[in-house]
Amino acid sequence: MSEGNCLTDKVVVVTGAGRGIGRAIAELCAAQGAKVVVNDLGGSADGEGSGDAHPAEEVVEAIRKAGGQAVANFDSVADAAPAANIIKTAIDSFGRIDCVINNAGILRDRIFHRMSIVDFETVIKVHLLGSFYTSRAAANYFKEQNSGSFVHFTSTSGLVGNFGQANYAAAKLGIVGLSKSIALDMQRFNVRSNCVSPFAWSRLIGTIPTETEAEKARVAKIQAMGPEKIAPLCAYLASDLSADVTGQIFAVRMNEIYLMSQSRPIRSVQRSDGWTPQTIAEHAMPAMKGSFYKLDRSADIFTWDPV
């Protein structure tokens, strides 16, 4: 590895790294000098099944053939003990941990009135609890070494909105809150935490229904955006190049990188004698209604072709 690589001697864990975006991240991190733990449960896109070691092992083999260092891990992020073992794999294999990239995910899309409790809880466990479990397992190592970086994956399904994804959107917006809290709590230990919202084709995106011509056209545009476009930002955030970047939300869309907004007050009203339900209806809501957010979906906001 050359001296110009930004991750030389760093140890990076990438969850869900057997395919798609996770694989692209793992391979680029290795190419940039990192020792990589390639985690993949080997399950289906909806979280069913496990035990297929081939995806993770294939990535490890590709990294080693290219001259990098990597080990495979097949634990689930959805339960605390296996998730902690992912981090332990990094410690046991390479002696330290420098970055956790929480990429693992599943989809179980259902319109809300048809969404089962199992559909909701399973997606929350993998995305939100999984991001917590792996991050918490790494936190004390980061604290003791006075350095570290978390890269969490969010989505415009949570940041903006989408049909049929109450479980996924809730998890992905929850991850934003988790990341910001980690950034605040661990800044004193030089630990960073940021979110990435990816626009890229993956097997999860491949489960999106394409019943109408508009849906088919939208998915066709996403297919043109390869997972390799997401990896450079993740490698940057894992490296010391991002030493002053924490608590932020980024989106990547082909060759575009966006800094996403965070919730702040945009309008206010007040009455010196306080409010009643009637005066809220007569005064407060009419004054603020012009600033209300529409029921937009991600596709309503990102209307132009990716660059």
Q: Each residue of 144-156: pLDDT tens digit?
A: 999 999 999 999 9
For residue 107, which of 95, 115, 98 has the smallest C-alpha distance?
115
Which amino acids are annotated catalytic?
A: 168
For residue 293, which of 269, 275, 267 has the smallest C-alpha distance?
267
Q: What pTM was estimated for this model as a whole?
A: 0.91
| Per-residue model confidence as pLDDT tens digits over 207-233 | 555 677 766 666 666 677 789 999 999
Other CB atoms within 10 A of residue 23 CB: 26
Per-residue model confidence (pLDDT) at position 2:
45
Is 11-259 in CATH node 3.30.360.10? no
- What is the rounded distance in angstroms from the CA atom of residue 157 to the CA atom of residue 197? 9
Q: Please report, for the chain, the start and end positions of each structural domain, with discontinuous segments joined by +.
A: 11-259
Q: Which amino acid is at 92?
A: D
In the 8-state DSSP scheme, what is residue 110? B
Per-residue model confidence (pLDDT) at position 4:
82
Other CB atoms within 10 A of residue 213 CB: 8
- What is the rounded distance in angstroms from the CA atom of residue 171 to the CA atom of residue 120? 9
CB within 8 Å of 72: residues ≥ 6 apart: 37, 38, 39, 40, 53, 56, 57, 59, 60
For residue 77, which of 135, 153, 133 has the smallest C-alpha distance?
133
Q: Do residues 28 and 21 touch, judged by C-beta distance below 8 A?
A: no
By 3-state DSSP, what share of the chain in percent is helix, strand and coil, each rounded to 5? 50, 15, 40
For residue 103, which of 27, 154, 160 has the smallest C-alpha distance?
154
In the predicted structure, residue 51 carries a pLDDT above the cut 80: no
